[in-house]
Structure 1
Amino acid sequence: MLSKPGLGVYLVASWPSKDTYEKAIRGLEGIADFFELGLPSKNPKYDGPFIRKAHREAGEPLWLRPQAPTYIMTYWEEHRGNLDGLFTLAAEIRARGVLAPDLLIDFPEELELYLKYAREYALAPAFFVPGKFPHWLVKRLTSAEPDFIYLGLYAATGVELPVYVERNVKIIRQLAGDVYIVAGFAIDSPSKAARLIEAGADGVVVGTAFMRRLQNSVDSALSFLKSIKEALK
């Protein structure tokens, strides 16, 4: 069971260098309640400019098996021809599950296929839904008893728009019942993270804002996340 309120951290696996990445993962012990580790992608279509650049720069993924629950985050489109390979990787690194942000946007008809593979590989389902989500879909996802439903607050990671995102959090909270709700995209301050928890999210994920700082200093990046963690209490 994920902590409430919980702090999740998104990182492109092995970025910005294997040494810095390893220091970050070790330093996040006791700070991050769960991890989303991005499998480097040739077409990270729902990521913002900074994380797109990180995908291009990332080398071979380094899987360090953090102590906290860990999910592989990747694009379903890139693995449709080799789903066994994707889910085998997740099982081998002892991930809790696979999170594919494009699954329910571009390939909703393959939801049952995703669930079939999750069952076969003894992985927990985890789902991503965009800000404009059909209410019936959220209710369908809750029946699969996922670890969480991740609500994307904006159209792309790290890109904030003039949208009242707390409203969407409140709506999905009402629809999802007791399912753990994660909010993410462009969370770049302790106050913003706290507002999302107050609106009904169980946890938040910080990616771009953490990675920007990580590129310059591991200590600065960790200090920033500690301030987020403190604001969630």
Structure 2
Amino acid sequence: MSRLTNAFAKPHPALVCFVTAGDGDTAANLDALVEGGADVIELGMPFTDPMADGPAIQAANIRSLGTGTTTADVLRHAAEFRARHPDVPLVLMGYANPMIRRGPEWFADECVKAGVDGVICVDIPPEEDEALGLALRAKNIATIFLCAPTTDSARLPAVLRGCEGFLYYVSVAGITGKQQAAQASIADAVARLKAATDLPVAVGFGVRTPEQAEAIARVSDGVVVGSALVEIVGEHGSDAPEKLRELTQALANAVHSARKG
């Protein structure tokens, strides 16, 4: 987890980049994100019913599963990434079934072996943290929770109680993709969250361009970009790494140059 701490301790906001495991050349795609300047990598675990994801990531899940990607393959990609990039934080993001079907302790142990720093499980709410979070934290794997515009002050303490690494603020009440929250609402939401926790707050869902990323970085500790990168993999196939590197570099330049207001 110290890698996550270090990523958000840099003198600039962090860029968090997501791609789906098993979609295209995973190793080359991940390397391209690092080379482009991503501070934290999110590796998606493909699932048949990705309820929080929009069309781009849904399609990536289908492509990945269509090639036969398994949980073992995802963990292998993670372990190989860790061998190539010993200092870059790696977070697995996905859904409960692949993570807990063999038991939460099994998954936590496999995350340790693969060098994973944190886990985002979209469909296990904080109120059911014992289903996975306890086992992960026992192995020093950060449990990263989602917080939405609909998370009110009554529920926020439950979200923060087991959250580690960073708090992921979902800027729209909807699925990943092309929706974009108003900048003013993001700034207000992040300020409210920062008043309640010392955790870094990273903002995602709907961030597609360097201009959007820079604006959000001015008021947050990090910016998460997923669908725009996943679309590149779907469109360019074997040529995706070069395109991923180009967009990541533009995003990184924008996020890293932002100054919080």
**1:100 is matched with which residue: 121, 132, 144?**
121
Instruction: Report sequence identity in percent.
Output: 21
SS state at 2:193 partner? helix
Name the amino acid aligned to 1:25: L
**2:61 counterpart residue number:** 55
Unpaired runs of at least 5, structure 1: none
CA distance, structure 2, for counterparts of residue 153 and residue 69 of structure 1:
23
**1:14 counterpart residue number:** 22
Bigger helix fraction? 2
CA distance, structure 2, for counterparts of residue 142 and residue 128 of structure 1:
9
CA distance, structure 2, for counterparts of residue 152 and residue 145 of structure 1:
15
**2:48 is matched with which residue: 19, 26, 42?**
42
Q: Which has the higher contact order (CA 8 A, sep 6+)?
A: 2
- 1:45-99 Cα distance to aligned partner (Å, 9 max, x none): 1000111011011142333324210111111255444323322322221101211
Q: What's the RMSD between the two structures over aligned residues? A: 2.1
**1:139 counterpart residue number:** 157
Name the amino acid aligned to 2:107: L
The count of residues paired between Structure 1 and Structure 2 equals 225
CA distance, structure 2, for counterparts of residue 124 and residue 197 of structure 1:
23
CA distance, structure 2, for counterparts of residue 40 and residue 209 of structure 1:
17
Structure 1 residue 159 corresponds to structure 2 residue 178: yes
TM-score (norm 2): 0.78
Higher mean displacement: 121-130 or 202-211 = 121-130
Deviation at 1:27, TM superposition (A): 2.4
**2:147 is matched with which residue: 93, 116, 129?**
129
CA distance, structure 2, for counterparts of residue 152 and residue 203 of structure 1:
12
**1:23 is matched with which residue: 28, 33, 36?**
28
TM-score (norm 1): 0.86
**2:245 counterpart residue number:** 222
- 1:15-65 Cα distance to aligned partner (Å, 9 max, x none): 12xxx3221222222411011111111111100011101101114233332
